[in-house]
Structure 1
């Protein structure tokens, strides 16, 4: 019987004795009843204690034995600046975390061990299995993945304890992060350059294979650009023929030579002496001059920044057809190198003075 029950039994016995005494005095019980009443008050509590002890057994039960088992004590260890491999060679993650563990029940003759070392080793192995499969360009995302994967208590390989990690930090070294940022900028610039190059190639194909394929195609294109003004297109027919021949590095068709001569106010082919056939350099110069006249006619006069740009595109079309000499002369005429500009101007000034 516990101490609380014993106290309660004694209190009830005393209270019962007082009540019986009061009743006996008021009822004028005989004198022989009082000794019997005293014996009952002593025997009844003793019998109750004896019965309770027999029911409980021989092993005493204390109050402390009724308490629950003490909770398992968990310990922790902070890990900082540990390098873990990534999927890319020479780019390592920098890992930091708080490792927690608790020991598993071990036999009495278990060897002495360092639980912190076992727990840290187990956590690092679990983290490495993830990081070595991830690219270093997404360190923050891998950090969140590790926070979820290492947040569970898992038995370590020896079976002596269970371990987990929290407060995980995963970053790259500053030098590696700067390198990756530079590589990302280069890839973005390269992507923009590739798109620009494709755009330029598309424009060249459009001009060379569609617009300036022949005089007829150029006329149709020019007619559409001028809101179907037929009269203006007819007036520009000679210029279109010259531009087409310059772009294709070919002679102007005979059927258009008289028209060009008439519009330019020059003698027709029948009046041209046969003793003055144009040489190859003069023909190329004629193509350059014809291109210059065409640009003047459409408003791209000297000083207009669009003039050398359009001439460069036409020169690129000619160069793609393996006519490099003509393309270089056109390029040199409309956009001469800065170092050659004074030399080119000197003869012109001299001739003007002459």
Structure 2
């Protein structure tokens, strides 16, 4: 019988006793009736309590009696900002999670005084076995991997608890994340540079070992590049021969030198051409060519017409911004004399009359 039932029984017994007493007084019951009434009022509650005690197994248990078990302990703990190693030295993950556990039957008489410590240790060990094999560049991916691996209840090493973790976060410290981003940029730039360098090496190798190996290979390559335009390829033979020789650091073959647009000695320079090979002669200057012209016309040394013609040509080319060539002509063919004229007037042979050109000889026919 519960406490409430007992209280109700006693209250009803007292109430019935009062009612019967009032009834006996008003009805003038005999004196022997009062002891019987007292026995009845005491016996009825006692009988009720005994009957209730005999049937206690089928009645609800009192709430107070349910509190004989020890209070339920808390079986979760929050873990915050724990460093876990990664595959790279000095780049640690930062781990946070809610650790949960439930007790197992201990294998012996070895009580667990701090189950939270055992649970946290077990979770961190399981997480460490995963993070130490992962690179720190993708912490969010490793976080999801840990969420799956730690979501199952597993017994810890002492077999006292089953442990799991949830609400897991895994990040890198901000300075480490910035360093990794900088390293990623450097690696990308290096990869691009390596590809460019290999491309240039491959191109140089192709040109030196295939295209420019000899003049024949160069001509075939040039013919293919110009869509079988044979005339253009033939016109560029001299240029191709020079290009092949320069690429192989050799001289142009003698059989191809006539195809070069300009004399081969001019390509090297006058001084270098004379020093490098006796066959290469300096190209004749304008004065040399004019001297050859005078000789071919029969104006030999000592001929008056020779100097006259030279002075006229020199005066004419001065107006064409050829001052240097004009001075070379006069220096070679009409050098100044050492004699000084006695009068202030210039000799007629040097300047001529007003009607005659400078340097003309009196009476000499004009040159047309």
Normalised TM-score (structure 1)? 0.55
Match of 2:252 in 1: 252
Instruction: Write the deviation string for residues 30-82 of structure 1: whole angstroms up to 9, x where unpaired.
Output: xxxxxxxxxxxxxxxxxxxxxxx9xxx987233349x9x99976532111100
Match of 1:236 in 2: 236
Instruction: Write the deviation string for residues 241-262 of structure 1: whole angstroms up to 9, x where unpaired.
Output: 11111111111111112232xx
Normalised TM-score (structure 2)? 0.53
- Say how many residue pairs are matched: 225
Question: Is contact 2:242–2:252 with CA below 8 Å preserved after alignment?
Answer: yes
Match of 2:192 in 1: 192
* CA RMSD between the two structures: 4.0
**Does the C-alpha gap of structure 1 residues 243 and 112 become closer, same or farther in structure 2, counting only changes over 3 Å?**
closer
Cα drift, residue 279 of structure 1? 2.5
**Does the C-alpha gap of structure 1 residues 200 and 160 become closer, same or farther in structure 2, counting only changes over 3 Å?**
same
- Pick the aligned partner of 1:63 from 55, 60, 64: 60
Mapping of residues 294-305 of structure 1, within 5 Å: none
Match of 1:103 in 2: 103
Distance (whole Å) between structure 1 residues aligned to residue 133 and residue 109 of structure 2: 40
Cα drift, residue 161 of structure 1? 2.6
Match of 1:152 in 2: 152
Cα drift, residue 98 of structure 1? 0.7
Distance (whole Å) between structure 1 residues aligned to residue 138 and residue 191 of structure 2: 21
Match of 1:170 in 2: 170
Distance (whole Å) between structure 2 residues aligned to residue 106 and residue 266 of structure 1: 103
Distance (whole Å) between structure 1 residues aligned to residue 186 and residue 141 of structure 2: 23
Gaps of 5+ in 2: 1-50, 266-272, 281-323, 329-368
Distance (whole Å) between structure 2 residues aligned to residue 265 and residue 77 of structure 1: 94
Match of 1:31 in 2: none
Larger Rg: 2
Match of 2:268 in 1: none
Gaps of 5+ in 1: 1-52, 268-275, 284-350
Which structure has more relative contact order (CA 8 Å, sep 6+)? It is 1
Larger helix proportion of the pair:
1
Match of 1:139 in 2: 139
SS of 1:168's equivalent in the other structure is: strand
